[in-house]
Structure 1
Amino acid sequence: MTGYNYVLDVVYGSYGKIGELIQEVGTENLAIKYQGDWQKHTKGHGLSPHLSLDGEHSRFAAENFIRNLLPEGNGFSELIDNTGLGKSNTFGLIRAIGAETSGAMSFLGEYHTPTETNFRKVEHSEIEEKLKNRELNQLTVWDGKRRLSVAGVQDKLNLIFRDGKLGLGDGDLCSTHIAKFETDFKNIVVNELFSMKLAERVGLSVAPTEYLRIGEYPTLLVERFDRKLISVDKVGKRHIIDGCQATNLPPSYKYERNLGDNRDVAHIRDGVSFKHLFDIEAKSSDQHKQALCEWIAFNIIIGNYDAHGKNISYYYDKSGITLAPFYDLVCIEAIEAPEGREIESTFAMALGDSFDAEVGAYDIAGFIKNTGQNEGFVSLIFSKIAKKVIEVAETIEGDLISAEYNLSESEKEHITKCVTIAQARAEMLQSSCQVKDLREMAALL
């Protein structure tokens, strides 16, 4: 505590301290105050477009930014259990995990002591034991120390992948990969593996992925695009922000229908939308719009209904904002819900005014109108992605069911199901995005 404020140092990668996160005692109000040398630095920039270097930001901008750094789902529950803090205690929670958040920023207390650089090898058997006994052995606690669980609801573990070995890092070593484990949703790991490989083959920029089997647990190892192992004992960091941070919205607004799909609130659409994303002032506007259209088309094709505001990220620096590689691409249409649960088949963001799984020319025309795009441009991109998916989906299937991956029969059958869905939905999109039809539908809007 300093004076009448709680303060954390904001530390940017190897540069060092660039400012402070401040909470006024007796309030929940957060603010970012930058240091003068960082404000004058040739590479100086704010934490996001909404937390500018001049320190002039809205009351909620810092709160929104920090809340989006916290884990979700089981990771958030474990954080609450381990710290004893209230769910709304944003400052206290980021203080607890601030040494390693996503991207390049750290949030450190006054008495934080730098830890010695160390690589702690993690055996598959250790991870398997934690996965078998999740109620007793928290996935994020190792050797009595809590490890960050990155934002998201799936069970994940931040790891270093070095010289073919998985491990945990301290000091100048931090995670380079995210291990995502199969939980209640059977075959979700191989589903995401297929979806990511397919996206890469049709031309989307995606995070590299590898398939592992840790004991009986299928595992997807995803390379982090905000980290890079630059030497045996040092990891470089790059600053990123997610779609909620880029649009200055809290994580509870990651779905366009931020209050849910129930009839009494379905008309409320204040969360992240395609319009929000297209309105982001990217460094290269044309590249940004093309990449967004490719991502949207691909999500339509695979039935990735959960493509929300936290499942898209941006690099952000002095030169501006640029889309990062895509991630969390899942053919949700192919996933079977566990007993007693239901999977929504409505999209996180609307095409026009429709969140429905079936997409027609009228919906695409509404999307074009809402986002200010050109019919010919959208038609070209959507048609291109659909055509490529139809051409290469079976090739990806053949690659994945080869002996190299050693998949189970259930996993192989699931990939075939994903292929069937992707091809059928690609044909649906092809027939719905013809320029002539889009212009006819636009006249009705």
Structure 2
Amino acid sequence: MDIIALDVRLDGFDNPIGNLVRDEAGALAFAYSSTYLETPDAIPLSLSLPLEEEAYEDNDARPFFDNLLQERDGPLQKVLDREGLARSDVAGLLFYLGRDCPGALSVLPLGSPAAKVPGNFKTDYRRLDEAQLIKIVHSLHRRQRLPDETEDPSPLAGVQSKIALTILPDGTFAEPLPGSGAPTTHIVKVPDRAHPNDPDLELEALRLSATLGFETAEATVRDFEGVSALIIRRFDRSLDQDNRVIRIHQEDFAQALGLPPSLKYERNGTVDRRFDAEAINSVLNATNDPAAEKQTFIAATLFDLMTGNVDAHAKNFALLYEPGGGVRVAPRYDLMPTRLDPDLTDLLPYAIGEATKLTEITEEDFSVFLRALGIVSERAQRRLRLGLTGQVSGSLIGELRRMDRSGMKRFADLIGHNIDELLTAFGLPVPDQIRERDAYLDRGGGWLLGS
């Protein structure tokens, strides 16, 4: 196996910030450049790769860079087949795919010019007409290849069909000109034929999240000749003083923890290497305001439990790196009431104490969860358990009638059932608005329909 040396670039910096190297045995190493380390506004690639002079060896470097590759097999498989590479050859794959890494990062053959630069709305994008948009959306809906004339400049992680595009100031859709390196501004998520209502369900979950006060990705649903798609504004984009689109460096919690994509659920990890409450606590402790971030995360956990989102895994939480080195948790995104789909698991993405399902949670489990997040005072635990649970459930209850009227009754019934489950587990009274609902998920997971 030959040695491969790659430049690692971060949008906003003129020169490579470091190098990724694969040796003859296939092991990876990453090192920041000395010039970058001396830059006053240097930021780390990851919490798992702090700014240090020493090189990071394979065990530290591999998880972060592996997370830059897509989870969908299709695009990867083309390179694997064409180049005869193994899936474990992260550097070899990034040699061909690294210019299109998600976010502000790119990994390029040594000496290559920057692949990602700010985008000028007037010169760096080409408009897409309605016919082109419809063709793209319908291709994604049918899980077919994109139209030949369509470039996807930012292959996205995850298993859903999606494409990154730009919305220009006048509201029209566009894509970056080939080779421009300009950022996209929005993600278009398209359901498959078996899940046509997913965009509306995810939009409702995002709307509930924003209504309850969580910083949440902005989204809307649009119909493209019979196929609905969710259009999400990217939270890792901004405008500079010249009104150019720029990228903001971000990483998901898997990268921050040095976990490969295969360990994004706690149940897939090991005792010392997994996405659990203690690991989450270590990430939140590295943010600008750990106390506030922890309270928000606990509230978000309660929100997910009540709304039936059991897919809040390590790649569905992210950190944003602000200019000057500040780190904060990104807005909420990828929210879906997965418990409405009987084909999906009811296992939680991370355990609450010893509980791996909503139906198993007890007061003691929640206390164990809070202690793992650094909340050791019994008084503080009680305040969070009673106060936050009451606050989140009360706010959601206030939305149920609106959901009933807007075609979301099945989702509202799921929320009602889950609130009942959690309040009962915590020894809290169940409000009449919940008891009076005429449909619930029974405690075994099946629907019970009232008369």
TM > 0.5 between the two?
yes
Give me the whole-angstrom Cα distance separating, in 2, the residues matched to 1:372 and 1:112: 45
Aligned match of 1:349: 350
Q: Which letter maps to 1:417?
A: R
1:196 corresponds in structure 2 to 206
Q: Secondary structure in 2 aligned to 1:61? A: helix
Q: Is the 8 A contact 1:158 1:178 kept in 2?
A: yes
* Code of the aligned partner of 1:92: G
- Indicate the residue corresponding to 1:293 in structure 2: 298
Q: Residue 284 of structure 1 corresponds to which residue in structure 2? A: 289
The 3-state SS of whatever aligns with 1:98 is helix
Following the alignment from structure 1 to structure 2, what is the Cα–Cα distance between the partners of residues 222 and 396? Answer: 21
Give the aligned partner of residue 404 of structure 1: none
Q: Which protein has the bigger strand share?
A: 1
- Give, in angstroms, the shift of residue 66 of structure 1: 1.1
How many residue pairs were aligned?
A: 405
Distance in 2, matches of 1:384 and 1:391, equals 11
Work out the percentage of aligned pairs sharing the same amino acid. 23
Matches within 5 A, 1:114-129: 118-129=124-135
Q: CA deviation at 1:311?
A: 0.5
* Structure 1 residues 240-255: aligned runs within 5 Å: 240-255=250-265
Q: Deviations over 1:2-48 (max 9, x none)?
A: xx742222222122224233223323322222222221122112211
Q: In structure 2, the residue corresponding to 1:86 is in which secondary structure?
A: coil
Q: Name which of structure 1's ranges 161-170 and 232-241 shifts more when overlaid on structure 2.
A: 232-241
State the match for 1:212 in structure 2: 222
Answer whether contact 1:331 1:418 (CA < 8 A) is retained.
Answer: yes
- 1:417 is matched with 410
State the TM-score, normalizing by the size of structure 2: 0.81
**Deviation string for 1:354-405 (max 9, x for gaps)?**
111323324323323443324124212222111111112433565xx3xxxx
Distance 1:86 1:126 in 2: 36
Preserved contact between residue 102 and residue 226 of structure 1 (Cα < 8 Å): no
Q: Distance in 1 between matches of 2:219 and 2:344?
A: 25
Residues 396 and 198 of structure 1: is their aligned pair in 2 closer, same or farther, counting only changes over 3 Å?
A: farther
State the distance in 2 between where 1:212 and 1:91 align: 39
**Could you say if the C-alpha distance between residues 345 and 372 of structure 1 is closer, same or farther in structure 2, counting changes exceeding 3 Å?**
same
Give 1:235's match in structure 2, choosing from 235, 240, 245: 245
1:311 corresponding residue in structure 2: 316
Number of the residue aligned with 2:89: 89
Look up the match of 1:368.
Answer: 370
Paired residue for 2:340, among 325, 328, 334? 334
The answer for the alignment partner of 1:104 in structure 2 is 104
Matched residue, 1:391: 398
SS at match of 2:163: strand
What SS does the aligned partner of 1:21 have? strand
Pairs within 5 Å for 1:123-272: 123-130=129-136, 132-133=138-139, 137-139=144-146, 143=149, 145=151, 147-162=153-168, 163-170=170-177, 171-183=180-192, 184-230=194-240, 234-258=244-268, 270-272=273-275
CA distance in 2, matches of 1:61, 1:136: 35
* Residue 63 in structure 1 maps to residue 62 in structure 2: yes
CA distance in 2, matches of 1:104, 1:136: 27
Whole-Å separation in 2 of the counterparts to 1:5 and 1:147: 28
In the superposition, relative to structure 1, how do residues 95 and 255 fare at CA in structure 2: closer, same or farther (>3 Å)? same
Write the deviation string for residues 185-217 of structure 1: whole angstroms up to 9, x where unpaired: 241111100000001001111100111112221
SS at match of 2:29: strand
Q: Which letter does structure 2 place at the counterpart of 1:428?
A: E
Instruction: State the one-letter code of the partner of 1:62.
Output: A
Tell which deviates more after alignment, 57-66 or 104-113.
104-113
Partner secondary structure for residue 99 of structure 2: coil
Q: 1:198 to 1:295 in 2, by over 3 A?
A: same
Deviations 1:267-319 (A, max 9, x none): 97842112211122222111110111111011100111111110100113553
How far apart in 2 are the matches of 1:186 and 1:357?
Answer: 27
Which structure 1 residue ranges, 5 or more long, are not aligned? 260-266, 337-341, 402-411, 437-445
Alignment partners' CA distance in 2, 1:231 and 1:121: 24
TM-score of the two chains, using structure 1 as the length reference: 0.82
Summarize deviations over 1:251-272 as a string: whole Å, max 9, x none.
111000116xxxxxxx978421
Equivalent-residue separation in structure 2 for 1:90 and 1:362 (angstroms) = 42
RMSD of aligned Cα (Å): 2.9
Contact 1:211 1:221 in 2 (8 A): yes
Cα separation, partners in 2 of 1:269 and 1:6, compared to 1, 3 Å: closer
| 8 Å CA contact 1:102, 1:240 repeated in 2 | no
**2:22 is aligned with 1:24:** yes
For residue 103 of structure 1, what is the amino acid of its counterpart? G
- Amino acid of the structure 1 residue aligned with 2:216: V
